[in-house]
Amino acid sequence: MRPQNAEPMLPGFIRHLFPTVAGLPAGPLLTLSLRSLARRRPGLFERLGEYRSACFGIDPVDLAFAFRVVPDGQRSSVRVVSKDGTAGSDVLIRGPLLTLLSLLDGTLDGDAMFFGRIISISGRTEAVLALRNTIEDAELRPSDLLGLHGILARCVDTGVLGALGAVRRMADNSPSEAQKA
């Protein structure tokens, strides 16, 4: 059994597929996705209240890059930055990518991950809570970010979530960096 605070890291070959330069296009694409989502579900950002204009640094520890996210409805922005580029964010959330994605889809509980030190936070704690609770209630699926509906949405959700599940299983079966150390 995996120790409670062992980090389910991305398998090495996947990490090598995504150097910083490969992540750069993700910024504009995710910005467009968030803004489109805000147009389709304007109430979704309401729970953030005053924290919608806060800058959230998201640092997946098993990727070569990080993100700076301002979840401000139709003015949202996502930038791919270097690991040092999260400095100055109102909040910094660090953790393995698969764990962060599991928090996004509500599979895992943020407090439990925090208690176990699998994720760490620093900065404005109240903004982290607002973001966590907003994401929890949003019940986002991959198709929501892509603006898809109907059969196509179901196919994409099945495919993306299935692929993520496969990567999680690979991560569970491979020793983490923490375990190797």
Partner 1 sequence: MTTKRMELVCPAGTPATLRAAVQAGADSIYCGFRDETNARNFPGLNFSRDELAEGVRFAHDHGSKVLVAINTFARVDDVHIWKKAADMAAESGADAIIAADFAVLDHVARNHGQIRLHLSVQAAAATPEAIGFYAAQFGIRRVVLPRVLSLQEIAALNRAIDVETEAFVFGGLCVMIEGRCYLSSYATGKSPNLNGVCSPPEMVSYDEGPSGTTTRLSGFTIDRYGRGEPVGYPTLCKGKFKAGDKTSHLFEDPVSLNAGGMIAGLKAAGVTALKIEGRQRGKGYVSEVVRAFRKAVDAVEKGGESVDIDRLLAGQSEGARQTAGAYEKKWR
Residue type, 109: D
Q: Does 131 bind partner 1 (CB under 8 A)?
A: yes
**Nearest residue (CB) to partner 1, 19 versus 88:** 88
State which of residues 24, 29, 87, 129 lies at the interface with partner 1 (CB under 8 A): 129
State which of residues 16, 75, 117, 169 lies at the interface with partner 1 (CB under 8 A): 117
Of residues 46-75, those binding partner 1 (CB under 8 A): 47-49, 51
At residue 76, the 3 state secondary structure works out as coil
**Token pair 């979704």: residue:** 44
Sort 104 into a burial class: Cβ within 10 Å, 0-12 / 13-18 / 19+: middle
Residue 6 CA to residue 158 CA, distance in Å, equals 28
Rg (CA), the chain: 16
**Nearest residue (CB) to partner 1, 18 versus 126:** 126
Residues that bind partner 1 in the complex, under the rule CB under 8 A: 4-5, 47-49, 51, 102-103, 106-112, 114-117, 120-134, 136-139, 178
